[in-house]
Structure 1
Amino acid sequence: MFTIKAEWDRLRGVLVHEPGIEMFYGVLDPESFLYMRRFNLQRALLEHKKMQDTLKELGVTVYRLKDVILDKANSDQKIMDYLKKLALESIRFEGDGELEKQLQDFEEDINKLDPESLFNIVLLKPTVITHKALGTSESTPRIINEEPLANLYFTRDQTIVTDEGIVLGRMSKRIRRRETILLKLAIESLSENIIKEISEPAFAEGGDYMPFKNFAIFGTGDRTTIAGAIQVSDALNFNEIVIAYNPVIQANDYMLSMHLDMYLNTPMEGIIVSNKKILQSTRADVYEKKEGKYVLKERTNLLDFFIKKRFDIIDITLLEQISYSTNFLTIKNGQIVTLDSEKNSKYVLEYVNSRGYMDLSNEINLEYTKLKEDKRFFPRKKEIDDFGIDFVIADVGELTGGFGGIHCMTMSLYRN
């Protein structure tokens, strides 16, 4: 059974999605697809493959979402039938001619299609539009892919792996809403059960959840609602839970702090990485479990909460934070896989400057100069050395163009 009690326990397995043609659509229209910027797709794919290799070298079993589904569909008729059902729900026929017959013909022919073709139909959601050419018997076809799943490679967000099992989330953004159907199919293909599914109108995403052995923290805001966090809490068995209200780094731009893992993470038991000012500004409601229910214990902020818990805090600059320094993946107690925040900070500086965020730009440009002089960009921090934390850097510079780091790109399946 896939369960996780603490983020620093030994990571045994992850689920990833190796990007394909769907990422192309995100590069065509970055903002609509929730991307930060356009980037080199070939290099991004190579980075993803190398990230997978790095995880394997560190002893982590890597499951690729597409392979998991296709392999199971080839050997299990139940999974194959479900994939066909999803494909039928994902394709539409419009235009001239007998549309009902076109759909009927497709339904009759669906048994001729291979699992990968069916997967791609779900991935891209095509609408087939056919028009008769004037004066001829020929037809002019057009294929429009509606809401292709360009963010599917961020496999952290569609599920929440708790100490009791897997919860299927509900995505806040319409462009990502359909991703959960493929994650559900992948989990079933791994012969695992989903213990709960988030229901409307609540939203809950995996990047807004982090377990700390005796307690778990939810981030709430643009992507996860309080109602969503409460629904997930029904599938938890921690002594305490914390509902944090994700901070706003820049007014009207929630992408810079969209999830909890964009400003908080733990590389080792008793240690967190974050920006202290951000932690202090993050409101937090602490609930304790009494008679099987979580009841409000106190209202505080995340900084005071962690100080009270006697956690050591590796304080990073705001620039390092919004350059995904906290978006690392902990492999085991005291070992992480992380991106190079110095390299990624250049992309973030470009983004902030292009948006005209002058106050934020001035602040983080000063931080960049100081970090550059000291050569102390995360993870090359004195505190990392002092605590004996081992780090492996994975170059995901192009992949971060989709607005996320290594933690976002990996669904941790089980730890022990």
Structure 2
Amino acid sequence: MNYPLHVTSEIGELRTVLLHRPGREVENLTPEYLERLLFDDIPYLPAIQKEHDYFAQTLRNRGIEVVYLETLMAESLRNDEIREQFVEDILTESKANVTSAFYHLKEYLLSMPNEQLVEKVMSGIRKSEIREEKKIHLHEIMEEHYPFYLDPMPNLYFTRDPAAVIGNGISINRMRRRARRRESLFMDYIIRYHPRFASHQIPVWFERNFRFSMEGGDQLVLSRQVLAVGVSERTTAQAIEQLALNLFAGQKEIRKVVAVEIPKSRAFMHLDTVFTMVDRNKFTVHPEILGPKGEMRIYILEPGEEKGTVKISERNNLIETLKEVLGLEDVVLIPCGGGDLIASAREQWNDGSNTLAIAPGVVVTYDRNYVSNQLLREHGIEVIEVPSSELARGRGGPRCMSMPLIRDDI
């Protein structure tokens, strides 16, 4: 088998990508718990699945291998020991291990075949699924109004965030919000136990149990030598520095980590919601992250003179920084919504800047962002549109919905 992970740019021709088809976890959303589960609305399951299937088929039509998180996870539970450990881990991280309800839930999950077990963990366990006579604890009786033993994971179709391939290794991320923290456990098990990955010594550049948070939407592999990471609502400066230290110590190619500060708000959630690479010198950008004369807070981390240290230098202009670290003579920033005050705000909310490059100058976007899509075409970019009426309700675009595993070098 060829090496299963290889990503040295944002735009190299995409060969293999990991997706998650939205499932019953979406139907376990209710208005009362939307904020807790990080959603603004409730997608209609048959419609969101249809849109997601269209997205997946669009990728296949370009010769891209599509693999699914739920399938790889089920195939990773290869024996009873792994199954039991996974169930214990997921129950512990779901805070379902504080009373003997843990044992009822463990028994319930282990009674299922692998595919159903994984689906149930992802969709959540309702209290109504456990027989009344097994509800013997005070907290179960007093909290009967809360419907779940295990919360659903409706954000799972944004496979970009829990883990990210960097070079020939992977960052398995500590998610910022509790509602998403369990998601990276799936990739942790897949890398360790799935036959496709377990036979390889895959370096892990960032561990999910690290104290500070890091999410994949903030991680952009700009070139073989340069990684950009957003300092955002979801990714901390401490995590970026630790990632840089691990990369500098564990491989020889990436020698610059560019930390880009963006506003810390839900509307700007990750770096890839306001900035993505679409060609060798072309990038989408939401104009609101650029200050006067394009000024921002940008820091370049490089290996320090002493082992285990980093050298940090500050920059303040995005275009000049990109020219410097990528060795470019010219950089083109393509503004979301064409820079129009209303269109840019509307289309950024619907992930107009969240493009998925599948080859240099070829991107997948949401059809609803017609102003941004037209502007991309005017800049020579091939734009492949996918329907998004339901997918967009989760506040994430095509890049958010995809975790590249293998790209060609450019």
- TM-score when scaled to structure 1? 0.78
Matched, 1:191 2:197: yes
| Equivalent in 146, 153, 157 of residue 153 of structure 1 | 157
Which residue number corresponds to residue 360 of structure 1? none
Instruction: Please say if residues 214 and 240 of structure 2, whose CA atoms lie closer than 8 Å, have aligned partners that are also in contact.
Output: yes
| Equivalent in 390, 396, 416 of residue 388 of structure 2 | 396
Q: Which moved more, 1:2-11 or 1:321-330?
A: 321-330
Partner SS for 1:45: helix
1:156-305 correspondence to structure 2 within 5 Å: 156-188=160-192, 189=194, 190-192=196-198, 193=202, 195=204, 196-213=206-223, 214-236=225-247, 237-247=253-263, 254-279=265-290, 280-291=294-305, 293-305=309-321
Deviations 1:170-196 (A, max 9, x none): 000111111111222233324254514
| Equivalent in 316, 321, 331 of residue 311 of structure 1 | 331
Determine the C-alpha separation between the residues in 2 that align with 1:93 and 1:166: 29
Cα deviation for residue 144 of structure 1 reads 2.4
Which residue number corresponds to residue 114 of structure 1? 113
Matched, 1:12 2:26: no
Q: 1:396 to 1:305 in 2, by over 3 A?
A: same
Instruction: Please say if residues 240 and 294 of structure 1, whose CA atoms lie closer than 8 Å, have aligned partners that are also in contact.
Output: no
Deviations 1:138-188 (A, max 9, x none): x9xx76244221111111000121124011000001111111112222333
Determine the C-alpha separation between the residues in 1 that align with 2:230 and 2:113: 40
**Matched residue type, 2:132:** T
Cα deviation for residue 398 of structure 1 reads 0.8
Determine the C-alpha separation between the residues in 2 that align with 1:37 and 1:105: 32
Determine the C-alpha separation between the residues in 2 that align with 1:160 and 1:6: 12
**Matched residue type, 1:284:** I
Partner SS for 1:210: strand
Instruction: Please say if residues 261 and 326 of structure 1, whose CA atoms lie closer than 8 Å, have aligned partners that are also in contact.
Output: yes
Deviations 1:48-76 (A, max 9, x none): 11111111111111111111222343x55
RMSD across aligned positions (CA):
3.0
Which residue number corresponds to residue 38 of structure 1? 42
Determine the C-alpha separation between the residues in 1 that align with 2:239 and 2:134: 48
| Equivalent in 62, 77, 92 of residue 66 of structure 2 | 62
Determine the C-alpha separation between the residues in 2 that align with 1:80 and 1:88: 12
Partner SS for 2:37: coil
**Matched residue type, 1:122:** V
Instruction: Please say if residues 7 and 211 of structure 1, whose CA atoms lie closer than 8 Å, have aligned partners that are also in contact.
Output: yes
5+ long unaligned stretches in structure 1:
134-138, 249-253, 343-375
Instruction: Please say if residues 76 and 189 of structure 2, whose CA atoms lie closer than 8 Å, have aligned partners that are also in contact.
Output: no
Q: Which moved more, 1:280-289 or 1:153-162?
A: 280-289
Partner SS for 1:397: coil
Q: 1:105 to 1:334 in 2, by over 3 A?
A: closer
Which residue number corresponds to residue 130 of structure 1? 132
Partner SS for 1:391: strand
Partner SS for 2:179: helix
Instruction: Please say if residues 91 and 125 of structure 1, whose CA atoms lie closer than 8 Å, have aligned partners that are also in contact.
Output: no
Q: How many residues align?
A: 364
Q: 1:146 to 1:106 in 2, by over 3 A?
A: closer
- TM-score when scaled to structure 2? 0.79
Q: 1:87 to 1:117 in 2, by over 3 A?
A: farther
Q: 1:76 to 1:385 in 2, by over 3 A?
A: farther
Determine the C-alpha separation between the residues in 2 that align with 1:86 and 1:160: 21
Q: 1:47 to 1:329 in 2, by over 3 A?
A: same
Instruction: Please say if residues 238 and 289 of structure 1, whose CA atoms lie closer than 8 Å, have aligned partners that are also in contact.
Output: no
Determine the C-alpha separation between the residues in 1 that align with 2:388 and 2:394: 11
Partner SS for 1:224: coil
Q: 1:109 to 1:244 in 2, by over 3 A?
A: closer
Matched, 1:330 2:333: no
Partner SS for 2:27: helix
Determine the C-alpha separation between the residues in 2 that align with 1:103 and 1:31: 26
Cα deviation for residue 225 of structure 1 reads 0.4
Q: 1:105 to 1:147 in 2, by over 3 A?
A: closer
Deviations 1:221-262 (A, max 9, x none): 2100011111222343423221111125xxxxx111010000
Deviations 1:190-229 (A, max 9, x none): 4254514144421000000101113221101210001111
Matched, 1:384 2:377: yes
Determine the C-alpha separation between the residues in 2 that align with 1:104 and 1:32: 26
Q: 1:297 to 1:17 in 2, by over 3 A?
A: same
Determine the C-alpha separation between the residues in 2 that align with 1:111 and 1:278: 48
Determine the C-alpha separation between the residues in 1 that align with 2:102 and 2:281: 58
Instruction: Please say if residues 87 and 121 of structure 1, whose CA atoms lie closer than 8 Å, have aligned partners that are also in contact.
Output: no
Instruction: Please say if residues 218 and 270 of structure 2, whose CA atoms lie closer than 8 Å, have aligned partners that are also in contact.
Output: yes
Determine the C-alpha separation between the residues in 1 that align with 2:348 and 2:149: 35
Partner SS for 2:154: coil
Determine the C-alpha separation between the residues in 2 that align with 1:132 and 1:64: 35
Q: 1:201 to 1:109 in 2, by over 3 A?
A: closer
Deviations 1:18-50 (A, max 9, x none): 111111233543332212323322211111111
Instruction: Please say if residues 12 and 59 of structure 1, whose CA atoms lie closer than 8 Å, have aligned partners that are also in contact.
Output: yes
Q: 1:220 to 1:93 in 2, by over 3 A?
A: closer
**Matched residue type, 2:197:** S
**Matched residue type, 1:66:** E
Q: 1:112 to 1:130 in 2, by over 3 A?
A: closer
Q: 1:290 to 1:336 in 2, by over 3 A?
A: same
5+ long unaligned stretches in structure 2:
136-140, 248-252
Instruction: Please say if residues 27 and 39 of structure 1, whose CA atoms lie closer than 8 Å, have aligned partners that are also in contact.
Output: no
Q: 1:305 to 1:379 in 2, by over 3 A?
A: same
Partner SS for 2:185: helix
